[in-house]
């Protein structure tokens, strides 16, 4: 792989981001889950768009760049044979990332407690996708930041802004990544991003302010547990139930989280479970029989392709960055 110079523009000034020193030998292990595992559906859920600089899939390998409590790390995962996952990690946080592989692959998730699905489509999806697990990253602030980017905008806008900010302001991932990858900024880095970089990235001011405000309490957020995260997150300005739920889903693999307030979710759940779109109240009523596993049911709906058909042209959001 080429180690040529890569440039990123931060506020209009090109900065050298590569070449890097020679790659050190990775830490490696094999993970053998005790349950069926759909690696790409479970871990790939963490990817934020096709061009996410923190996560890429190349062939059979999933590459992930993250900022662990011990420093940045690059993780490569590949299923080398049925039930055998090969993991390799590089960087200062390699040990932490390697230890976290089982949780990322859903080892802490237990679908066995899900009530018998009263809806035949969910029962069939549950039977057909035994390897769908709810993984967790245990990186609360990064999960929160990416969720804030997705507030009140299309996925295309959110993923584009995430890609630009992380590439411009993050840290180059170690290891032989197949394309240049970047770990998200540190908490201090998020606080120090200038206003013009947010604007050039295409993130709206309310979302940019919410990230910066959250970064001011970044250390407390990073220490949050599944039990206290919701209370802490919703106490922050610009963070509501939707963002808190999205954070819990990614950081903790919360099997019961429901992102109330999502533009499409209630429509999809209504279509799958009742044959017609519904609102948030209707969605919660339809999901009530699955208490404790509502997020699992939502993921099964997605895995089964039970989405409300589109009835109009795609939205083409206006780009305000040149103004």
Q: What are the structural domain ranges in the chain? A: 24-113, 140-251
Residue 319 — very low, low, confident or very high, per pLDDT cuts 50/70/90?
Answer: low
- β partners of residue 188: none
pLDDT higher than 50, residue 6: no
Other beta carbons within 10 Å of 28:
12
* CATH code, 24-113: 3.30.310
Q: What is the mean pLDDT of residues 182-189?
A: 97
Query: Which of 5-14, 97-106, 207-216 comes out lowest in average pLDDT?
Result: 5-14
Indicate the helix (H) or strand (E) that contains 7. Answer: strand 7-10
DSSP code, position 79 = E
| Structure token pair of residue 55 | 């996560």
Q: Is the pLDDT of residue 16 over 50?
A: no
In tens, the pLDDT along 161-177 reads 999 999 999 999 999 99
List Cβ neighbours of 166 (8 Å cut-off, separation of 6 or more): 53, 54, 182, 183, 184, 185
Q: Is pLDDT larger for residue 116 or for residue 129?
A: 129
Write the CATH number of the domain with boundaries 140-251. Answer: 1.10.340.30
Residue 222 CB: number of other CB atoms within 10 A? 17
- What digits encode the pLDDT tens for the residues 95-128? 999 999 999 999 999 998 888 888 999 999 999 9
CA 164, 168, 171: angle at the middle one, nearest 5?
A: 120
Give CA–CA dist 186/274, Å, rounded: 44
Give the closest residue to 202 by CA, choosing from 135, 248, 254, 156. 156
With 60 as the cut, is the pLDDT of residue 300 above it?
Answer: yes
CB 109 within 8 A of CB 254: no
Instruction: Identify the pLDDT of residue 21.
Output: 60
Do 186 and 174 form a contact (C-beta atoms < 8 A)?
no
Q: Is the pLDDT of residue 323 over 90?
A: no
Among 190, 99, 195, 102, CA closest to 146 = 190
What is the C-alpha separation between 83 and 68, in angstroms, rounded? 26
Judge contact between 33 and 105, C-beta under 8 A.
yes
**pLDDT at residue 115, as a whole number:** 86
Q: Which of 73-77, 102-106, 155-159, 209-213 has the lowest mean pLDDT?
A: 155-159
User: For residue 145, what are its two tokens?
Assistant: 């930041």
**Count of helix runs (H) and strand runs (E) in the chain:** 15, 9
User: What is the torsion angle, in degrees rounded to the nearest 10, for the CA atoms of residue 255, residue 257, residue 258 and residue 262?
Assistant: -110
Whether 14 has a pLDDT exceeding 70, the answer reads no
Q: Is omega for the bond preceding 19 within 30 degrees of 0, making it cis? A: yes
Q: Is the pLDDT score of 8 beyond 50?
A: no
pLDDT value at residue 7: 30
What integer pLDDT is reported at residue 322 of this predicted model? 54
What pLDDT sits at residue 116?
Answer: 86
Mean pLDDT, all residues of the chain: 90
Phi then psi for 260, rounded to 5 degrees?
Answer: -65, 135
**Within 170-204, where are the H helices?**
187-191, 195-201
Chain segment 72-95, per-residue pLDDT in tens = 999 999 999 999 999 999 999 999
- pLDDT at 212 exceeding the cut of 50: yes
pTM of this prediction?
Answer: 0.88
| Concatenated DSSP letters of 8-64 | EEETTEEEE----PPPPPPEEEEE--SS---HHHHHGGG--STT-TTEEEETTEEEE
Q: Average of pLDDT values for 241-255?
A: 97
Model confidence band, residue 11 (pLDDT cutoffs 50, 70, 90): very low
pLDDT at 113: 83
- Using 50, 70 and 90 to split pLDDT, how confident is the model at 315? very low
What is residue 75's predicted lDDT score, i.e. its pLDDT? 98
The yes-or-no verdict on residue 243 having pLDDT over 50 is: yes
46, 65, 109, 173, 275 from 57: Cα distances, Å = 11, 12, 23, 15, 34
Structure tokens of 36? 């069926």
78 φ/ψ sector (left φ>0, alpha ψ -120 to 50, else beta): beta
With a cut of 60, say whether residue 53 has pLDDT above it. Answer: yes
pLDDT at 210: 97
How far out from the chain centre does Cα 130 lie? Answer: 21
Checking if the pLDDT of 5 tops 90, the result is: no
Does the pLDDT at position 268 exceed 70?
yes
**β-bridge mates for residue 90, sequence order:** 74
Token pair for 43: 């871990």
Whether residue 246 is predicted with pLDDT greater than 50 in this model: the reply is: yes
Taking a C-beta distance cutoff of 8 angstroms, is the pair 175, 26 a contact? Answer: yes
């Amino acid at each position: 792989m080429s180690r040529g110079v890569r440039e990123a523009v931060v506020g209009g000034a090109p900065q050298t981001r590569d070449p890097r020193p020679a790659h050190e030998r990775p830490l490696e292990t094999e993970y053998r889950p005790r349950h069926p595992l759909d690696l790409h559906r479970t871990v790939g859920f963490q990817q934020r768009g096709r061009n996410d600089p923190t996560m890429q899939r190349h062939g059979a390998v999933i590459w992930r760049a993250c900022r662990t409590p011990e420093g940045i790390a690059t993780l490569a995962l590949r299923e080398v044979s049925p039930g055998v996952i090969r993991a390799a990690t590089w960087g200062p946080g390699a040990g932490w990332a390697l230890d976290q592989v089982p949780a990322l692959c859903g080892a802490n998730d237990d679908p066995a407690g899900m009530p018998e699905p009263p809806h035949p489509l969910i029962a069939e999806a549950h039977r057909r996708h035994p390897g769908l697990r709810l993984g967790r990253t245990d990186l609360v602030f990064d999960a929160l930041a990416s969720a804030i980017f997705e507030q009140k905008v299309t996925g295309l806008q959110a993923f584009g802004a995430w890609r630009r900010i992380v590439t411009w302001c993050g840290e180059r991932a170690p290891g032989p990544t197949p394309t240049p990858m970047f770990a998200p900024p540190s908490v201090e880095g998020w606080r120090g991003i200038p206003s013009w970089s947010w604007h050039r990235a295409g993130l709206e001011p309310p979302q940019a302010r919410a990230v910066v405000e959250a970064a001011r309490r970044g250390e407390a957020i990073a220490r949050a547990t599944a039990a206290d995260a919701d209370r802490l997150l919703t106490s922050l300005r610009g963070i509501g139930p939707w963002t808190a739920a999205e954070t819990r889903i990614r950081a903790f693999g919360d099997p019961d989280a429901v992102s109330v307030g999502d533009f499409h979710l209630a429509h999809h759940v209504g279509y799958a479970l009742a044959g017609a779109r519904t609102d948030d109240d209707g969605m919660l009523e339809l999901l009530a029989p699955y208490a404790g596993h509502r997020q699992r049911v939502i993921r099964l709906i997605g895995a089964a392709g039970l989405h409300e058909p589109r009835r109009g042209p795609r939205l083409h959001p206006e780009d305000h960055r040149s103004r």
